Structure 1
Amino acid sequence: MNAVPARAATAAPRTRPATRHPGRHARRALPLLLAALLPLSGCGIPQTGVVEAGEPATGVLKPGATSAPSAAAPEEVPAVKVPLYFVEDGALVAVSRIVPGTAGLGNTVLMLFEGPDRGERNRGLTTQLPPSTVAPTVRADGTVVNVQLPRSAGSLTETAIDQLACTVAVARLRQDPALDRAQVTVEQPGGRLAGRSSDDCPTGEAPTSAETATVPRTGGTGGSGETAGGTGETG
């Protein structure tokens, strides 16, 4: 019995070692990269590296600090000299006082009603105006000034009217240097009127020593310093 020859074992097919092709993968990735870049170029993204926008920031704040607006410097108010008229030996004297330039005629009159200060009293100055905490109503229109006294002022003496009228008249001239004279009407409680002109007032001022001068009064029916109306005041 003849033996059947055994089949030769089938040899396994040989496999080639894998060979890498870097260029092939790069060529495949290039279209994908270009496709990704196309939408970006269509969106208007600038091609430059740095774009200038506005002024550069100035100043460095510490952590937690906040910037505060700078406060405006207050405006300086100039000071002016105003003569107040007091009495020495029965005659008017002019004494200078320093007041803010914004002080009105009413403030000047109220200062006059406060009377002379200690230094002025030591020099023998007095006043015939009664003390008052209510300022008179003062109305000015050009060269004409009207002073309406409060009821608490009562009836004033002629010297007290001179004090008041001259103080207001000279203060008005200081207030408006374009004026060459001022006419003052003092209206007392009850409607009594008395008129004075700045021409009748002593013009000298003495910051440290008072100048004595007598105020001439305009009397009679034809006096230019008298204001008609009411019962009037005769000089």
Structure 2
Amino acid sequence: MRRRLVPTLLAAALLAGCGVPVDDEPRLVQPPPGRFPTPAGTTTADPEGRVDEPFCFVREDGLAVVTRPADRLPGVDAHLQHLLAGPDRWERGRGLATALPGTVAVAGATLAGTVATVDVRQAGEETGRSDEVLAFGQIVCSLTQRPDVDSVAFRRDGQPLEVPRADGSVSALPLTAADYRPLLPR
């Protein structure tokens, strides 16, 4: 009995002397003023509950990240469809364009864990575009700006598809924004 009593009394004495006062009732704790910082690559919610939907568009020979307010972040396929629609009038007025139409024929996207998989159809023979790096960069950079996507894989007819990276190499492995960093603003 004595062996059990000593550790119990010692624990009680230590807890009693820890210096944290105990309130009789719960009290309201005020959050600090201002917004909490958000890590890069995540969407943010404004006080009205809206979020930022991120997009990477083309500016000159590189990529530019922009956001559009949305009531909620759409699924990856809907987000990709918004990207495929291209920049809006205001974004075009700021010099933004897209390399996607005629370059990459996208069939859809799914999310498994934190990897978005984009299904690509065979592009037509006469697309008239030669900026595949920018097109694939737009997709990868846009989707990996989401908090639920770490990387993007591409496939055609159910098989991994090798796509160009900014350094001129090709890869069939899932890609991240780091693969297109040379195209992003510094």
The TM-score normalised by the length of structure 2 is: 0.53
Distance 1:114 1:197 in 2: 22
**1:183 is matched with which residue?**
151
Unmatched runs of 5 consecutive residues or more in structure 2 = 1-47, 164-173
Distance 2:120 2:85 in 1: 15
Larger Rg: 1
Asked if structure 2 preserves the Cα contact closer than 8 Å seen for 1:162 and 1:196, the reply is: no
Unmatched runs of 5 consecutive residues or more in structure 1 = 1-76, 203-212, 216-235
**1:70 is matched with which residue?**
none
Shift of 1:135: 6.6
For 1:23-102, list aligned pairs within 5 A. 78-101=49-72
Distance 1:201 1:98 in 2: 25
Return the letter of the residue paired with 1:214.
Answer: L
The TM-score normalised by the length of structure 1 is: 0.43
**2:143 is matched with which residue?**
168
Distance 2:178 2:153 in 1: 14
Aligned in 2, Cα 1:148/1:189: closer, same or farther, shift over 3 Å?
same
Distance 1:85 1:196 in 2: 15
Sequence identity of aligned pairs in percent? Answer: 26
Asked if structure 1 preserves the Cα contact closer than 8 Å seen for 2:52 and 2:73, the reply is: no
**2:83 is matched with which residue?**
112
Question: Secondary structure of the residue that 2:90 maps to in structure 1?
Answer: helix
**1:123 is matched with which residue?**
94
**1:197 is matched with which residue?**
176
What is the number of residues matched between the two proteins? 122
Distance 2:141 2:115 in 1: 13
Shift of 1:145: 1.8
Higher relative contact order (CA 8 A, sep 6+): 2
Distance 1:186 1:153 in 2: 18
Residues 86-122 of structure 1 deviation map (CA, whole Å, 9 limit, x = unaligned): 0111100001012231521111100111111111111
